[in-house]
Amino acid sequence: MSLLPDLKSAGVMGINSRNGDYIMRYNPRRLFPLVDDKLISKELAIQNGLPVPELYGVIRMLHDIRKFEQLVAGKEDFVLKPVHGSGGNGIMVIGSRSRDRYRTTTGRILTRDEIAHHMENTLGGQFSLGGQPDQVLIEYRVKFDPVFDHVSYLGVPDIRIIVFKGVPVMSMIRLPTRSSDGKANLHMGGVGAGIDMRIGITTNAVVGTSPVHEHPDTGSPVVGLKIPHWEAMLDIAARCYEITGLGYLGVDLVLDATLGPLILEMNARPGLNIQIANAAGLLPRLHFLECLELDGLSVPERIALGKEATNRDPREVTRMAVA
């Protein structure tokens, strides 16, 4: 065992453990469509009074593409999203327009035909899991809070919070870089910065798996960043448990300059890089919560528990779970 790094005492959750011990146990498969279908999750959030970017319209089939102009009439900017997309693929963000030319926030000028082609591809399933036919969602483009301007290269930074049985347990902010093409996607080279659950300040940051202190493009520090509306974000994340019923859930939030935190999407199989961004394993916190009776707790009580779980020393809690 000494040949391999000691991940167990560090409380790191591996893929097998996530799939076998958490997703399979706490996320019933029948609930997956609630988060995999962005249209359903948006409607679910609206019904329950949780903030989401406003929906302008849905392109359901090729025939609907002609309605596109009509749907975005009077909107200076908007976002096209595949309903079943994952990992930020297939998202097109239009920042401005002049007659039939559209300009993406990354600076590409697109004609109406090019946008139509993109929508056709999306409908054909290019961005959906397994290539099944998909739909296009047209929604409000988040005017992201300038508070993150100095740590983002184009694109929108987003905040991912892992919620275990309604308790927000770990979070990070994902900052777009030049190499991630303006997408807040760690997989493509974005910065991931772990957030202290108790105070909403970033404590550690990585690109890929290597630690960083400054944003690779802007040079501003990414550690010690204060996240505005932190308590509101925790509140929204905790409530997402009730509306989906998923016990192991990832909630992605964005911060709008005027509207505050908005739910971007939810994920029933949140990844494990959040642990690298936090330089902390998920298991100590989850084991701590698994020893408690969480049913019937109010949202503020659960948020408080999530903050308490942060204090857990990996070794101590691992022992507890074993005993």
Partner 1 sequence: MNRRHTYILAACLFLAGASLFLYKVRTLGLPLDAAQETEVWTMEAHVSFHRDSVGAAKAYLRIPENPFGYRIASENFVSRGYGLTVDERANERQALWAVRKVSGEQSLYYRLSVYADPTRKGSLPKPTFPKVPELEEPYYSAMMDLTSHVREQSADVLTFTSALLRRLNDPTPEENISLLRAGARTPMQRSKLAVTLLAGARIPAEIVQCVRLGEDRRMAEVMPMLAVHNGDEWIYFDPQTGELGFPSDLFPWAWGSKPLIDVSGGRGDMVEFSVVRSLQPTMEIAQERAASLGSKIPEFSLLALPLRTQSVYGVIVMIPLGALLVVLLRNFIGIRTVGTFMPVLIAIAFRETQLLGGLLFFTLIIVVGLAIRAYLEHLRLLLVPRLASVLTVVVILMTLVSIASHRMGVDTGLSVALFPMVILTMMIERMSVTWEELGARDAITEGIGTMMTAVLIYLVMGVSVLRHVLFVFPELLLLILAATLLAGRYTGFRLTEYRRFKAMAAEQ
Which residues of this chain interact with partner 1, rule CB under 8 A?
Answer: 2, 4-10, 12, 14-17, 19-21, 86-87, 89, 117, 120-121, 124-127, 129-131, 187-188, 206, 209-211, 272, 275-276, 279-281, 314-315
Cβ 38 to partner 1, closest distance in Å? 16
CB 304 within 8 Å of CB 297: no
Q: Containing H/E element for 171?
A: strand 167-175
d(CA 144, CA 206): 22
CB 218 within 8 Å of CB 151: yes
Please report the beta strands in 176-239, taking only residues with DSSP state E, as ranges in sequence order.
191-196, 201-207, 210-211
Beta carbon nearer to partner 1, 56 or 127:
127
Beta carbon nearer to partner 1, 6 or 293:
6
Beta carbon nearer to partner 1, 20 or 219:
20
Cβ 65 to partner 1, closest distance in Å? 12
CB 219 within 8 Å of CB 151: no
Beta carbon nearer to partner 1, 8 or 103:
8
Q: Residue 19 is encoded by which pair of tokens?
A: 């799939």
Q: Containing H/E element for 265?
A: strand 260-267
User: What contacts 63, CB < 8 A, 6 or more positions away?
Assistant: none
Cβ 245 to partner 1, closest distance in Å? 20
User: What contacts 295, CB < 8 A, 6 or more positions away?
Assistant: none
Beta carbon nearer to partner 1, 177 or 244:
177
Q: What DSSP assignment string belongs to 231-246? A: HHHHHHHHHHHHHH--
Cβ 19 to partner 1, closest distance in Å? 8
Beta carbon nearer to partner 1, 279 or 291:
279
Beta carbon nearer to partner 1, 142 or 289:
289
Cβ 108 to partner 1, closest distance in Å? 15
Angle at 154 between CA 150 and CA 155, to 5 degrees: 110
d(CA 296, CA 293): 8
Angle at 260 between CA 128 and CA 188, to 5 degrees: 35
Cβ 127 to partner 1, closest distance in Å? 7
Q: Containing H/E element for 97?
A: strand 92-98
Beta carbon nearer to partner 1, 171 or 275:
275
Cβ 17 to partner 1, closest distance in Å? 4
Which strands form 260-267's sheet, in the order they lie side by side?
A: 210-211, 201-207, 191-196, 167-175, 158-164, 248-256, 260-267
Beta carbon nearer to partner 1, 131 or 228:
131
Cβ 222 to partner 1, closest distance in Å? 16
Cβ 211 to partner 1, closest distance in Å? 7
